[in-house]
Structure 1
Amino acid sequence: MSAFKDTTRWLMTARPQLAALALVLGLNMVIAPGFLELTWSDGRLYGSPINLLNRAAPVALLALGMSMVIATRGIDLSVGAVMAIAGAVAAVLVNSGAPWPVAVAAALGAGLACGLWNGVLVAVIGIQPIVATLILMVAGRGVAQLITDGRILTFNDPGLAAIGGGAWLGLPIPVWITLAAAMALIVLTRRTALGLFIEAIGVNPAASRLSGVNSRMVLICVYMVSGLMAALAGLIVAGDIRGADANNAGLWLELDAILAAVIGGASLYGGRLGLSLALLGVWTLQGLKLAILRSGLPAEYNLIVMALLIAVILALQSPAGGRAWRRLTPSRREIAP
């Protein structure tokens, strides 16, 4: 009974996101009538929906971490650079003869270290999140280039390549990684007090600190989770192309992650955490990209559409936008007979 109530409550909360996703999928079906067709070959599923989930996996991982950061009234602009660092570390280690699990562990450790760096700058030193993470956004690409000596470093390790291009039980491994990460973070934030602490810090950092919340530790943990998710995304991208491209891996994906989190209902004013809704935002964004590409419009329109969406959503989330929305949508008490 409790699960039914939770599902009903989630469906009521997710109505705008589900409607947006349905609209984008319908648009794709109009542009490409066979969009929802699935085929089975060589032990795995193929089709546009599977391709959508697979290609959205790196951004989905970034959006999960970004949603937690945004809920604390912060931002993480370094996730793309952390992806490049993680891919470079993994590629260098497997090419030097290290087993792929060791390379993966080292890459994830690098992501955690990057998140720790951001968390210390924000929580301990007190630098504004956008400035603190901008430092690593700029320097991180340089670090990745130093690791790879400024060139695209390829590898042939089948274990590392499978992370980005393999399949299990019919679905691509990146999809399984995304679902596993999402479930782990949802359990962590909703079955423990961590989610409440994150939202409390976003609503009022001073009040949460006076209430006994260790704000510094929570912020550091949140940025470390964001770094870990970025490292996972970097491993997927590196495994997909069987190489580490320090210049282009994760380039501008921080914009996608922020937009997906905001489409999922995250407020840049903090205090609102919805990881499952962030996934809906990612799939909506990826579906929109597919629709633009299938329509024959140049790929550059993606950036224009995303920028316009950010402007509209932020306007609606602003105090003035909220007041205008309340005037246009009277409450039930006002329209009751």
Structure 2
Amino acid sequence: MSRRLLWPVLALVALLLVNVFVTPSFLSLRMQDGHLFGSLVDILRNGAPTLLIALGMTLVIATRGIDLSVGAVAAIAGAVTCTHIAAGGDPFSGMAIALALCALMGLWNGFLVSVVGVQPIIATLVLMTAGRGIAMLITEGQIITVDNPAYRQIGAGFLVLPIAILISVAALVGVALVTRRTALGLLIESVGVNPEASRLAGVRSRTIIWTVYVFVALCSGVAGLMISSNVSAADANNAGLWIEMDAILAVVIGGTSLAGGRYSLTGTLLGALIIQTLTTTVYTIGVPPEVTLVFKAVVVLAVCLLQAPALSRALAPRRKVVLP
């Protein structure tokens, strides 16, 4: 795994160097009114929702699954909370209702995958499509704006560092402790390697699959709260749009196998940082908007190819065999 993380680390360093070359003050930090500001802080704050969703996606992919509905779930969470606040409700109760609804959607995805036996990409594609419609129904097709200082703290608040960064880091540390300091991580990997063999060995594979889908839905809900809180509005049509692709790319760049059974939380962190730094680099170097997605695709493809086992073997120095 350490070898697989080499190329993501080099890619991240290269992107940072490009930004430093274009903007020499890129790495500078400053403290103002007790808040830490700088381009690096902006990257971490803007990448916090992607990192949060990518954490849950890592565990789902480790079970040989996928979740395409995370962007729609994020949009629903923001829509529910902002609509509740706009109607005069308390922001904390609105967030609780939103996260409870997200958990139910995770249970639904887990039910389709683990009980009904629907392929994960199809099961979550249903909610990916329907979820946007649900969010539009909640907001009645309008952009719901709110003015609530308490709610704004989630996406735009500071405790020296932005609160969004602290939430994502806390989630990363929590997931790492739970999955690497207990047997849960091993059970998740065993289900990803062979769910039937795990079941015969006494592992409750259905429960584990259900758990990871609920977890990624909750991560998506919190990410949706961050996104809507940051702009003090719920845009059901655009909130979290294509964030599922960024999350999946972050997981893959980080070395987690799409075939299941092996995952890396450190790699996911690197992948999320690469995705957000790449987005920042696109704007820094002035890449035209019409080719932005193509530019990102080329960079991501290059990193993934460098990680590919076949290319790694081809680039590795060959040892000379000395015959006696």
Is this a same-fold pair by TM over 0.5? yes
- Match of 2:275? 285
Q: Does 1:67 align with 2:66?
A: no
Q: Does 1:86 align with 2:73?
A: no
- Counterparts of 1:17 and 1:330 in 2: how far apart (Å)? 20
Q: Does 1:305 align with 2:295?
A: yes
SS of 1:296's equivalent in the other structure is: coil
- Equivalent residues, number: 323
CA 1:140–1:332 in 2, change beyond 3 Å: closer, same or farther? farther
TM-score with structure 2 setting the length: 0.93
- Runs of 4+ in structure 1 deviating by more than 4 angstroms, as ranges, are 10-13, 309-317, 330-335
Given candidates 100, 123, 145, the residue that maps to 2:91 is 100
CA 1:313–1:200 in 2, change beyond 3 Å: closer, same or farther? farther
- Structure 1 counterpart of 2:87, one-letter code: S
Q: Does 1:249 align with 2:249?
A: no
Structure 2 contact 104–214 (Cα < 8 Å) conserved: yes
**CA shift for structure 1 position 301:** 3.2
- Match of 2:309? 322
**CA shift for structure 1 position 200:** 1.0
- Structure 2 counterpart of 1:115, one-letter code: G
Given candidates 250, 255, 260, the residue that maps to 1:265 is 255
**CA shift for structure 1 position 139:** 0.1
Give deviations 1:175-197, integer Å, cap 9, x for gaps: 01111111111111111211111
- Counterparts of 1:187 and 1:122 in 2: how far apart (Å)? 26
- Match of 1:40? 31
- Structure 1 counterpart of 2:316, one-letter code: T
- Match of 1:21? 12
Gaps (5+ residues) in structure 1?
1-9
- Match of 1:179? 169
**CA shift for structure 1 position 311:** 4.7
Gaps (5+ residues) in structure 2?
none
Alignment of 1:149-188 (within 5 A): 149-168=140-159, 170-188=160-178
Given candidates 113, 119, 123, the residue that maps to 1:128 is 119
- Structure 2 counterpart of 1:142, one-letter code: G
Q: Does 1:53 align with 2:44?
A: yes
Q: RMSD of aligned C-alpha atoms?
A: 2.2
Given candidates 184, 199, 211, the residue that maps to 2:201 is 211
- Counterparts of 2:100 and 2:146 in 1: how far apart (Å)? 20
- Counterparts of 1:132 and 1:311 in 2: how far apart (Å)? 27
**CA shift for structure 1 position 313:** 5.8
**CA shift for structure 1 position 327:** 4.5
- Counterparts of 1:133 and 1:184 in 2: how far apart (Å)? 25
- Match of 1:6? none
TM-score with structure 1 setting the length: 0.90
